[in-house]
Amino acid sequence: DISCRLCRRCPVCRLRLQSLWDAGSLYEYFNAVLINEVDEEGNSVELGGEFILQPNDHFNNLSVNLSLSVVQVPTNMYNKDSAIVNGVYWSEALNKVFVDNFERDPSLIWQYFGSAKGFFRQYPGIKWKPDEHGVIAFDCRNRKWYIQAATSPKDVVILVDVSGSMKGLRLTIARQTVSSILDTLGDDDFFNIIAYNEELHYVEPCLNGTLVQADITNKDHFREHLDKLFAQGIGMLDIALTEAFNLLSDFNETGRGSECSQAIMLVTDGAVDTYDAIFAKYNWPERKVRIFPYLIGRESAFADNLKWMACANKGYFTQISTLADVQENVMEYLHVLSRPKVIDLEHDTVWTEAYIDSTLEDGQGPVLMTTVAMPVFSTKNETRNRGILLGVVGTDVPVSELLKTIPKYKLGIHGYAFAITNNGYILTHPDLRPLGWEAVLNDRRREREIQNYTCMKSTHTNT
């Protein structure tokens, strides 16, 4: 029932996109960071306004608004971009749905919609606070629940050009691009990274000729090796593409991969040929492997070849000129991989592994949560064949709520129930003890003690 709750009630899940209008200067919304903020003259700032917040014990005594949702926009995006404002406008209908859901089922906690455009609508409304640098790094499209719901499992080979022309800033941008691609991979995905010039260099030599699961440990391990890359020599893309196709084919035959989508991510500053002979040999006519070229730098001399590769292999071309362009441009490939699900109207429900509620105060103990989410598609007749993903809708579910559904009377005297995900992560088990929770509590207490000491010292000094 929990997995269907939002889908049944959410009009966005069966939304027909109405004609969009340029709402930039006409429509304002409650921005999660700017609500209740005032300028030097005491007036509400733009996209702020008075937003009533009251403490609620159901939400860990946080101050929330049970009547309205708020919208968070990543710091690297413009709050009043027309695409953002349009999306916020038509998704405002979710306010009533969220409220109705909560009234019908008071056990519900956070409900939200993550847009493919980048904004995040959250209910109940709550004020977000930036870090010490005034930045909120949260981007809903990087979260596991979004990635798992938006795309199918995939096998990915990332090719990184380390020829001499990639020296300096280009190599820095390339490293960041690869790191951002890793952010978009989840536990259902498999990957490897190959650097190339005249020769092939597996970023992790111990994993030569195979793919590994994209869990946190493996991704962090590969990130450490990215810093060891240096540019020299001539880029031989033909040998890199051949290796990537063979790797994907061989790994798929083992039956240990995703057995679903396959992709080659090409991070380079250019290609001197279209390499159509290689594609004809390994990928045509089925075109099972999609090609996603990322052109690094401002030069566009070789852009046409990379664009052709993408179009001829059902991929997507992106040019990344600066470090600021990386995150937003990397996200584009997710929308392409989601198209088959959108066209087939596959509303797959996904569940994340258990995690600790980040809104807890000191002394409340670890409360385990899981997230259930599903994709949201455009069903407008004119765009249905284009496979437009609008975003992902989800809700957090305390593991304690799942335990209530267990038929304990069937377990026997010494019996107990447990649950694991398809990736082997424990969702609930009587002996599950979250590692590091005591350290987290100690860090919080230490920060509180330092703050109290600072306040006391300041008071004595003033006295």
- 181 vs 418, more confident: 181
Residues 157 and 107 in one domain: no
Q: Are residues 101 and 173 in the same domain?
A: no
Q: Is the domain of 116 the same as that of 181? A: no
**Separation CA 413–CA 406 (nearest Å):** 15
The pLDDT of 325-330, averaged and rounded, is: 90
Q: At residue 409, does pLDDT exceed 50?
A: yes
Task: Answer with the one of 399, 422, 442 that is the final residue of a domain.
Answer: 399
Q: Has residue 98 got a pLDDT over 90?
A: yes
Which alpha helices (DSSP H) does 295-349 contain, by range? Answer: 303-312, 326-330, 332-343
Give yes or no for a contact between 391 and 342, defined as CB atoms under 8 angstroms apart: no
- Is 253 a domain residue? yes
For residue 28, what pLDDT is reported? Answer: 84
Does a structural domain hold residue 213? yes
pLDDT of 23 > 50? The answer is: no
Task: Report yes or no on 440 lying in a domain.
Answer: no
* pLDDT of residue 6 exceeding 60: no
For 146-155, write each residue's pLDDT tens digit. Answer: 988 888 899 9
Say what percent of the chain tops pLDDT 90. Answer: 51
| Percent of all residues in the chain with a pLDDT value above 70, rounded to a whole number | 84
Q: How far apart are CA 102 and CA 228, in angstroms?
A: 51
pLDDT at 157 over 60: yes
Question: Which residues does residue 200 pair with via DSSP β-bridges, in sequence order?
Answer: 196
> Which residue would you say has higher pLDDT here, 284 or 7?
284
CA 235 – CA 195 distance, rounded (Å) = 10
Question: Which residues is 377 bridged to in the sheet?
Answer: 389
Q: Is residue 303 in some structural domain?
A: yes
What CATH number should be reported for the domain holding residue 265? 3.40.50.410
In a 3-state reduction of DSSP, which class is residue 326? helix
- Backbone φ and ψ of 212, nearest 5°: -125, 155
CA 2 to chain centre: 22
Q: Residue 459: its pLDDT value, please?
A: 42
Has residue 316 been placed in a domain? yes
Task: Round to whole Å and give the CA distance between 178 and 157.
Answer: 11
The answer as to whether 429 is a domain residue is: no
Question: Are 218 and 352 members of one domain?
Answer: no
Could you read off the pLDDT of 38-68 as tens digits, one per residue?
A: 888 888 888 888 899 999 999 988 999 999 9
Does one domain contain both 191 and 320?
yes
Long-range contacts, 164-171 (Cβ 8 Å, 24+): 164/197, 164/231, 164/232, 164/233, 164/234, 165/231, 165/235, 165/269, 165/270, 166/231, 166/235, 166/268, 166/269, 166/296, 167/231, 169/297, 170/231, 170/269, 170/296, 170/297, 171/229, 171/230, 171/231
Query: Residue 89 — pLDDT band, cuts 50, 70, 90?
Result: very high
| Cβ atoms 113, 393 nearer than 8 A | yes
At residue 337 the predicted structure's pLDDT band, cuts being 50, 70 and 90, is: confident
Are 156 and 190 in contact, with CB atoms under 8 Å apart? yes
Domain membership flag for residue 410: no
Q: For 8-17, 212-221, 358-367, 424-433, which range has the lowest pLDDT when averaged over its residues? A: 8-17
Residues 372, 334 share a domain: no
pLDDT band at 15 (very low <50, low <70, confident <90, very high): very low
CA distances from 35 to 29, 64, 99 (A): 10, 12, 20
Q: What is the mean pLDDT of residues 367-381?
A: 84
pLDDT above 80 (res 380): no
Q: What is the mean pLDDT of residues 421-447?
A: 66
Using 50, 70 and 90 to split pLDDT, how confident is the model at 26?
Answer: low
Mean pLDDT of the region 65-91:
91
Based on the fold, state whether residues 129 and 258 are members of the same structural domain: no
The answer on 210 and 109 residing in a single domain is no
Examine the pLDDT at 280 and tell me if it is beyond 90: yes
Residue 3 burial (C-beta neighbours within 10 Å; 0-12, 13-18, 19+)? middle
Give the confidence band of 339 by pLDDT, cuts at 50, 70, 90. confident
Let me know whether 19 and 132 are in one domain.
yes
Q: What is the pLDDT of residue 179?
A: 96
What was the pLDDT predicted at 70?
96
The pLDDT of residue 172 is above 90:
yes
Q: What is the mean pLDDT of the chain?
A: 84
421 assigned to some structural domain: no
Let me know whether 194 and 74 are in one domain: no
Highest mean pLDDT out of 46-55, 206-215, 336-345:
206-215
Distance CA 374, CA 203 (A): 34
pLDDT category at 252 given cuts 50, 70, 90 is: very high
Beta carbons within 10 angstroms of residue 214's beta carbon: 24
Count: domains in the chain: 2
Look at 126-140, 301-315, 350-364 and tell me which has the smallest mean pLDDT: 350-364
Domain end point (choices 358, 381, 399): 399
Among 108-112, 186-190, 276-280, 430-434, which is the least confidently predicted range?
430-434
- Residue 45 belongs to what domain range? 2-138+345-399
pLDDT at 11: 43
Q: What is the pLDDT of residues 229-241, one digit of tens each?
A: 999 999 999 999 9
Give the domain CATH number at 393.
Answer: 3.30.450
Given this model, what pLDDT does residue 228 score? 92
**Phi, psi of 148, deg, nearest 5:** -65, -40
pLDDT at res. 236: 95
Q: Which of 303, 322, 342 is the last residue of a domain?
A: 342
24 and 167 belong to one structural domain:
no
Same domain assignment for residues 336 and 271 = yes
Q: How confident is the model at residue 299 (pLDDT cuts 50, 70, 90)?
A: confident
Query: Nearest to residue 71, comparing CAs of 61, 54, 86?
Result: 86
